[in-house]
Amino acid sequence: MKTPVHIAVSGAAGQIGYSLLFRLIGGGLLGDQPITLSLLEVPQSIGVLDGVAMELHDCASPLLSGVTCHSDPEAAFADADLVFLVGARPRGPGMERRDLLEMNADIFSVQGKALNRSAKRSVKVLAVGNPVNTNALIARCNAPDIPPENFAAMTRLDHNRVVGLVAARCGCNPGDVKHAIVWGNHSTTQYPDLQHATVDGIPVLDGVGRDWYEQEFITAVQQRGAEVIRTMGRSSAGSAANAALGHMRDWVLGTPEGEWTSMAVCSDGSYGIEPGLMFSYPVQVRDGAWRIVQNLELDAFSREHLKATEAELLIERDMVRHLIP
């Protein structure tokens, strides 16, 4: 019997959690590898969480070696190998982005400290809850004994949206679209970049045209989340859980040879971005470690978009400075 991999999920009674957990116990992350699950919720939602745990048991998955439910982050993260930080407060009526940032910043500061106290030093932490880049920054900065490269924020849903929209436009299989990139913040300033993307080895821009790219596509990706809410009446959950799984799988098992994906990781100054920001870059992963893809050519259009999304992240960082030790 293989030793189970210990996975913690915060916000486990929420809608993304509900999609994610059942895929985790079906082997969707690590294949034929036993796991234990440690689920974290706010005290008011522990009843719902207990029901979710009952359902997980009722799946009788041979891969699930145990489930525990917690309202204390330190207990939830104890000895965790992999952590999904999904739990966050939603934006309420009349709430400004600043209010949302401050409220969630507190949550991620507490959870960063808890990770520092109880998770394995080798833990991989993926933040999903919004505003995700800055939440990941706060968690990382509050966990000084865990290497900064063990924290990431999820822009994989944006990356997958890019691939899906290109495939639909070109009438090809999503698997044929390579080298898409999402740069920057998971927000409307993100820069979905097709300038390096190919379909079957042919540059995507040759097929779709620069006008469609600049005038329709970029906004469509930036607004996709809002469009899902308008259409469905609630925010993306299945596709978000799928993206979280894909991000973590690539982080653990590696990106396919010659390909890359988008992850928001700690900037080392690559492409002129302020070091330390959690910025979405094209990354390749080998042996569990990501590396930012270097030396991609950026034209003036791309550089302008990178600067705009960086500027937003700098403002966000300034708003939560008091929580960054």
Contacts of 243 (CB under 8 A, 6+ apart): 154, 156, 157, 159, 160
Q: Which is nearer to ligand NAX, 169 or 186 (CB)?
A: 186
- Please state the closest distance from residue 24 (CB atom) to ligand NAX, in A: 15
- Please state the closest distance from residue 92 (CB atom) to ligand NAX, in A: 11
Shortest CA distance to 7 belongs to which of 118, 82, 84, 67?
Answer: 82
User: CA of 158: how far to CAs of 10, 58, 70, 153, 247, in Å?
Assistant: 21, 33, 30, 12, 11
Shortest CA distance to 50 belongs to which of 71, 36, 19, 65?
Answer: 71
Q: Are 157 and 239 a contacting pair, CB within 8 Å? A: yes
Tell me if residue 196 is catalytic. Answer: no
- Please state the closest distance from residue 35 (CB atom) to ligand NAX, in A: 20
- Please state the closest distance from residue 324 (CB atom) to ligand NAX, in A: 18
Tell me which DSSP letter residue 184 carries: B
State the catalytic residue, choosing from 70, 186, 196, 247: 186
Q: Which is nearer to ligand NAX, 83 or 199 (CB)?
A: 83
- Please state the closest distance from residue 76 (CB atom) to ligand NAX, in A: 8
As a whole number of angstroms, the distance between CA 241 and CA 157 comes to 9
Nearest-CB residue for ligand NAX: 14
- Please state the closest distance from residue 295 (CB atom) to ligand NAX, in A: 27
Counting every residue written for the chain, the total comes to 325
As a whole number of angstroms, the distance between CA 47 and CA 65 comes to 22
What backbone phi and psi angles, to 5 degrees, belong to 152? Answer: -145, 160
Q: Which is nearer to ligand NAX, 17 or 34 (CB)?
A: 17
User: CA of 207: how far to CAs of 66, 160, 177, 202, in Å?
Assistant: 50, 19, 12, 8
Torsion of CA 275, 281, 286, 288, to 10 degrees: 70
Q: Which is nearer to ligand NAX, 240 or 293 (CB)?
A: 240
Cα of first residue to Cα of last residue in the chain, in angstroms, is 42
Q: Which is nearer to ligand NAX, 142 or 198 (CB)?
A: 142
List residues near ligand NAX by CB under 6 A: 10-11, 13-17, 40-42, 45, 86-90, 107, 128-130, 132, 154, 157, 186, 235-237, 240
Q: Which is nearer to ligand NAX, 61 or 71 (CB)?
A: 71
What angle is formed at CA 185 by the lines to CA 180 and CA 187, rounded to 5 degrees? 100
Residues annotated as catalytic (active site), given as ranges: 186
